[in-house]
Amino acid sequence: MKPVKLGICGLGTVASGAVNILKRNAESIAGRAGCSIEVIQVGSRRLKDNCDLAGVDFTTDVFDVVCNPEVDVVIELIGGYDVAKELVLKAIENGKHVVTANKALIAVHGNEIFAAAAEKNVTVAYEAAVAGGIPIIKALREGMAANKINWLAGIINGTGNFILTEMKDKGRDFADVLKEAQDLGYAEADPTFDVEGIDAAHKLTIMASAAFGVPLQFDSAYTEGISQLSTADVEYAEELGYRIKHLGITRLHKDGFELRVHPTLVPEKQLLAKVDGVMNSVLVDGDAVGQTLYYGAGAGSEATASAVIADVVDIARAINVDAGVMVPYLGFSPEKITDLSVLPIDEIVSAYYLRILASDHSGVLAKVASILSEQGINIESVMQKESELQDGKIPMIMLTHEVKEKNINVAIEQIEALSEIEGKVVRIRVEHLSS
């Protein structure tokens, strides 16, 4: 079999990990692919010493790579939207297969990119774009092909999970842990994408499309971050038997599907509640197999590079048997993609955690309960923190039964208008992660 020749665009942590793994495990990778796989060119703004590029052509112009007639597969690892999109489309135009770890690119421009690739009969593979080394895309598209997938929920941003774990385990506040996450390299200098849920929404958008066979619809995703969470809420959740996790959740309905990222109370006995630190995990519910859990490193040099190389191996197999695109991009044949829309967040159904700062007077709880009742909201439990009475105000924590989001929003607005209530009501959704 002829060797498959790779061109890599970008030379950051994932690219260096890919080069190192390809050299270290060349024999076993060739055994799986049915041919040798060689890196022949790397394009990057600057040469770095984080991997061995002996015998590899180096260029500072990444477009040299996609225009190199010797390159069979382009690996795009530069990140971002604009240049990456131009690069990938140019590679496709030149008849080259593409492997990318760029979740933002696929979530936002994937529909256009997949259409261009189908027209040129080349593959665009993106396993590494979601949850690093966890093979969740392969699981959704292939391993669960017999199932109608009902829903999935995941911890898909390691930075946010690290912050929430430290807040839970050590009682630290958000700002303090965020600074440590930045010092450790888990969070960027501008951590917005991580802590406000944008990164997770990119990944969730891709998983939802692969799970349900719908177009990528990132612009319709609901995102809510963790920057406003307090240590008190983390502690109160624990007292109630829950953990707060920053979850991406998508659930299929007849008239649409949910696509939402937000802080969530998860029962402490649930498997996702036990995922701590920078680890990622995705829980998938299929009608035939039931619930399956995927867990592992969601980022990192060699963890993500592992997924990149797995995609390269799939493409190498296809090249050498002339099989073309072996698995449809989203797991469904193009004519079977269903044009379902994302449900507005007001229409989702959830239970809720409410923290209300109220005057320590008789009758306040009755007023709040009456407002909730008027909106059809039943209270599961109430906890008042008498030990934290300060300036005549006392925290009142409630768990509700499931109700539509629009009803809880109306109730919260009315509760906040009461003269006995101070400030904003803290609201966190609760998921028991069942069918």
pLDDT tens digits for range 324-345: 556 767 778 788 888 899 999 9
For the chain, what is the domain count?
A: 3
pLDDT at 218: 97
Instruction: Note whether 96 and 20 are same-domain residues.
Output: yes
Instruction: Note whether 289 and 307 are same-domain residues.
Output: no
CA 253 to chain centroid:
21
Instruction: Note whether 153 and 272 are same-domain residues.
Output: yes
Q: Which residues are catalytic?
A: 203
Domain housing 418: 348-430
Q: Would 343 be classed as within a structural domain?
A: no
pLDDT at 2: 87
Tokens read off for 237: 């959740």
Instruction: Note whether 185 and 254 are same-domain residues.
Output: yes
pLDDT at 326: 62
Q: Would 342 be classed as within a structural domain?
A: no
CA atoms of 212 and 417, how far apart (whole Å) = 41
356 contacts 424 by C-beta, under 8 angstroms: no
The CA R_g of the chain, rounded to the nearest whole Å, is 24
Instruction: Note whether 112 and 152 are same-domain residues.
Output: no
Q: Which residues of the chain have pLDDT under 50?
A: none
Instruction: Note whether 147 and 13 are same-domain residues.
Output: no
Instruction: Note whether 169 and 261 are same-domain residues.
Output: yes
Residue owning tokens 């409410």 = 354
Instruction: Note whether 154 and 206 are same-domain residues.
Output: yes
Q: Would 44 be classed as within a structural domain?
A: yes
207 contacts 152 by C-beta, under 8 angstroms: yes
Instruction: Note whether 194 and 67 are same-domain residues.
Output: no
CATH number at residue 281: 3.30.360.10
pLDDT at 322: 57
Report the predicted TM-score, pTM, of the whole model to 2 decimal places: 0.93
